[in-house]
Structure 1
Amino acid sequence: MPNASTWDWNPGRREVQDISSWSTKFEWVEEFHASADGEKVGAVVKTSDGDFTACVNGQEWEERYERVFYLKFSPDGRLTGITQQDGEWTLAVDGEHWPETYGYIWSTMFGSNGSIVCAVQQDGEYGMGIDGVLWENLFANANNFTLGSDGKSTAAVVQVTPLAQADIETFQKGIYSIAVNGEAWDKVFMNCYTPVFDAKCEKVACQVRKSLYDYTIAVDGKIWQREFQCVWDPCFNPVSGAVAAPVRLGGKWGMAQDGEIIWPAEFAQCWHQQFSADGSKLWAIVATSLGKFTVAVNGTPWNVTVPVVIDLAVSPDGNRGAALGKTDYAYTVMCDGKVWNDSYAMAWKPVFSPDSTKVAAKVEKNGRFTVVLDGKPYGQDFEQCWEPIFSPCSTKVLIRAIDGGKFVRIVADVSDF
């Protein structure tokens, strides 16, 4: 998360950039991106000579490329983009690209220490790179790339055994493992999925498929002593280090921790679980029956159900939860077991204030966008806006938006809603 304590939190509206002028300056302008602090807006642009570059607050990068895409602002406000030149790919950061080029590069991630991490393919082998430095070992296949909270620990699912075309026997014996910082586990599985780090980046857990029909969880290559019909992504308790994962038994879903059932297998679905910061509560999206989704905490579901629930958010104190509900084509925000009164054409993941007392979300209605706080919309809608960010004191909300061809930065008081 970005450090918002140093941002400008003076209330009011400020025009950052007149982006309407960009369309006359460039042959075309792609999707706009906003920095977290709202001080910068950027986009991929095509210049009059047919090359591509990026433009930030009206200033274009000096370098020109055959292609630029996947623009992302880092938490500290640097603009990154994946670039192609002469058939080779690399990452540009504020217009300065990494010195090395690669066969391909994708999935830009940012570390809490300022690092920038990408998935990389080089000479037909795959791995990860931190600030342009690749793993020493690359692999025939790699996927499910992940970055630890320390910004320097990396992991991915990797293929460690060669596989000939249609070689089913070798596949069933196991060809996949997990590579941590480029070093693969000794243990090999038929499949691995979704590696995750613990809070200290000392351990890694993942889903594994032991056979065609048996699934379980592995931690640092050691599997739980029980198999299941299926499992979903594991997660670590941030305090105890225990590993929890949704598991399927007898056609129903429950929750297991370190191989033992802690929520009975009585749900039609159970996934996207997360612990509270103090580790005392475990939240998850569940379906009490087919097509009836809700949120559960420590195994107890909310009373309200809807056909689809996504984007679960847990408050910093761990006592509140919010998620998006969808019925037909309408989205709603569910919070603390209740549904906000209004519905929307689209909504984005809810955001809690640092003191856990308020929740806000970006929403779309009638082709316009705005921010809603505790069910109350801001007094203006926009051509485009980004997810809201609360001030550290929880009394203000930063709204980054495009209004009338201008990129604006609005610091609104919570009483403005």
Structure 2
Amino acid sequence: MSFAQSWDFTPGARVVLDDLRKCSREYEWLEEPYVSPDGETVAMVAALPDAEFSLAVNGEVWEQTFDKIWYPRFSPDGRLTALVQSAGEWTMAVDGEPWEDQYGYIWGTLFSKAGDVIAAPIQVDGKYGLVSNGVAWETLYDNANQVVLSADGSATAAVVQVKPLAQADIETFQQGIFSVAVNGVAWDSIFVNCWNPAFDPAGKHVATTIRRTLYDYSIAVDGKAWTGAYACAWAPVFHPATGQVAAPVRKAGAWGMAVDDVMAWEPRFTQIWHQAYSPDGAILAAIVAPKFGEFTVAIGGQPWDITFPVVTDLVVSPQGGRVAALSSENNANFAVICDGKVWNGRYDMAWPPVFSPDGKHLAVTVRQGGKYTVLCDGKAYAQSFDRCFDPAFSPDGTHVLIRGIADGKVYRIVAPVTAFTG
């Protein structure tokens, strides 16, 4: 059973915290509130007297204090994490308990799908790598970036620098100094650049975009490069069932989609990126530009017949039959696109769409005129908020969990999809 299936989806509204300023200890200030995925917990960094910091959780401050604390995040299983510093060293604290080891720096917390594994990139004595559930890579590197954690948490990966590079040493750089390390072990293959490593669903294989020369882009899987050479390439993704790798590539002046180094979508677009498979792999969708400056979504290589200046945040429904995204105009006039149709309403801002588990409903958090609310299937919830977090559906898809802040109070609302009428 997933953590979300254990949430309380009893219809109704209640106040989780009646005053955001509430704190069990004297404080200098409280920072930005974070609300747990289930809406039951509110966490804020609390600056305490004597230059100490901790986290206030539903108004109750952790017993332990730190010199600095930042980046509070809730794991999918509901645990509260934060990056904390004591005596000049950093580590991860989970529900108030810091990991045993400390690091020169730690950032960018990562979670496995179930939340049982917590990872982050670290720096120790000028070397870089990753730590997972408190255990760091045995080998650290001069440079480690673009870090990823497999969905099951069994593996971590990053682009790493495997050769030293002196200042302005262009020749060595062009010979190749980067590779990908998996669980701290670098591939034997070395490239000029690597970007966007990605795990397959089982966490057993890694694909990455590579540059073999300044002008030769391709994809490498488990260190083995595709034979094909392209003018450019974007991030790869794995087919969830077959293990094939799909990546947008530029060839002969246009963009297409290559699957295992074979053109699956012919190069006829001015741009393709952010591709995503449906969970069963039957659908491959991507954001595309049929013409310069005109973006839309393509499914199986066929674009929708509407275009926009910008398209972002593409999502495929859990059942695979529906696709949604956001459109905008120069970071304004956001709209929701679903199945090739645009919802009514334009907004100052919108956040990534969320499908119900059965794919029948779609919810989106939006902001207009400084007020936030949640849309479901194009209709707005009646109440607006000073701030609103991502919505979530009940397992049967009939109710929406809304987490919002209004007038200094934190609300947890479970509304049936029929309650959205605006």
TM-score normalised to the size of structure 1?
A: 0.98
**Selected match of 2:238 from 236, 239, 263:** 236
**Selected match of 1:405 from 402, 405, 408:** 408
Are 1:388 and 2:394 matched, yes or no?
no
**Selected match of 1:281 from 267, 280, 283:** 283
> Which aligned pairs between 1:195-206 and structure 2 lie closer than 5 A?
195-206=197-208
Shift of 1:61: 1.1
Shift of 1:4: 1.4
> Which aligned pairs between 1:32-43 and structure 2 lie closer than 5 A?
32-43=33-44
CA distance in 1, matches of 2:253, 2:310: 20
- Which residue type is aligned with residue 174 of structure 2? Q
CA distance in 1, matches of 2:69, 2:198: 30
In structure 2, the partner of 1:8 is: 8
Which runs of at least 4 in structure 1 moved beyond 4 Å after TM superposition? none
- Which residue type is aligned with residue 354 of structure 1? P
Shift of 1:26: 2.4
**Selected match of 2:215 from 197, 201, 213:** 213
CA distance in 2, matches of 1:233, 1:48: 47
Q: In 2, are the aligned partners of 1:130 and 1:152 still within 8 Å (CA)?
A: no
Question: More displaced, 253-262 or 62-71?
Answer: 62-71
SS of equivalent residue, structure 2 residue 13: strand
Shift of 1:2: 5.7
- Which residue type is aligned with residue 110 of structure 1? F
Distance change (3 Å), C-alpha of 1:103 and 1:116: same
Q: In 2, are the aligned partners of 1:215 and 1:231 still within 8 Å (CA)?
A: yes
Q: In 1, are the aligned partners of 2:76 and 2:115 still within 8 Å (CA)?
A: no
In structure 2, the partner of 1:27 is: 28
In structure 2, the partner of 1:53 is: 54
CA distance in 1, matches of 2:189, 2:263: 25
Shift of 1:113: 5.7
Q: In 1, are the aligned partners of 2:54 and 2:69 still within 8 Å (CA)?
A: yes
In structure 2, the partner of 1:79 is: 80
SS of equivalent residue, structure 1 residue 382: coil
Q: In 1, are the aligned partners of 2:101 and 2:134 still within 8 Å (CA)?
A: yes
Shift of 1:251: 2.1
- Which residue type is aligned with residue 294 of structure 1? T
1:368-412 Cα deviation digits (max 9, x unpaired): 101001110001100111010000000000001112211110000
Are 1:266 and 2:231 matched, yes or no?
no
CA distance in 2, matches of 1:25, 1:361: 37
**Selected match of 2:298 from 291, 296, 299:** 296
CA RMSD of aligned residues (A): 1.3
CA distance in 1, matches of 2:391, 2:26: 30
1:147-202 Cα deviation digits (max 9, x unpaired): 00111211000011111111111111111101001111001001111111111111
- Which residue type is aligned with residue 360 of structure 2? T
Are 1:331 and 2:334 matched, yes or no?
yes
Distance change (3 Å), C-alpha of 1:367 and 1:2: farther
Are 1:227 and 2:229 matched, yes or no?
yes
1:279-312 Cα deviation digits (max 9, x unpaired): 1110000011111100000000001111000000
Distance change (3 Å), C-alpha of 1:2 and 1:51: farther
SS of equivalent residue, structure 1 residue 4: helix
**Selected match of 1:316 from 304, 315, 318:** 318
1:117-141 Cα deviation digits (max 9, x unpaired): 0111111111111111101111111
Question: More displaced, 15-24 or 48-57?
Answer: 15-24
Shift of 1:355: 0.8
Question: More displaced, 103-112 or 44-53?
Answer: 44-53
- Which residue type is aligned with residue 189 of structure 2? K
CA distance in 2, matches of 1:15, 1:408: 5
In structure 2, the partner of 1:174 is: 176
Shift of 1:85: 1.8
Are 1:62 and 2:59 matched, yes or no?
no
SS of equivalent residue, structure 2 residue 21: helix
CA distance in 1, matches of 2:247, 2:324: 20
